[in-house]
Amino acid sequence: MEFLVHIEIALPPDLSDAERALLEQGERERGLELRASGAITRIWRIPGRRANVGIWSAEDATALHELLSSLPLFPWMDITVTPLARHPLEG
């Protein structure tokens, strides 16, 4: 099943540069794994924001939550999930 996932990220302002760099490197690595495994089908940045919108694929909402909470930046994310149904145009 597919989901539209909107993620806004608000890192704490008092993070050191080293902590931030480490977190962002981990986030990128986990993101690449999720892209490679097909969990993230497509992902885009919302211009002007630390935010993205993506098409995620998971068996159900429980599996999706496990994928999302595996992201290193998860504690600082505000996430909105929209379930997606097949559209007749996609036959």
Q: Which spans of this chain sit near a second copy (rule: CB under 8 A)?
A: 1-5, 7, 12-13, 28, 31-32, 35, 40, 42-49, 52-55, 60-62, 64-65, 68-69, 77-90
Q: Is residue 17 classed as helix, strand or coil in its secondary structure?
A: helix
d(CA 3, CA 57): 6
> Toward a second copy, which CB reaches closer, 23 or 53?
53
Q: In Å, how far are 12, 38, 48 from 56, measured between CA atoms?
A: 26, 8, 22
CB of 83 to a second copy, least distance (A): 4
> Toward a second copy, which CB reaches closer, 26 or 45?
45
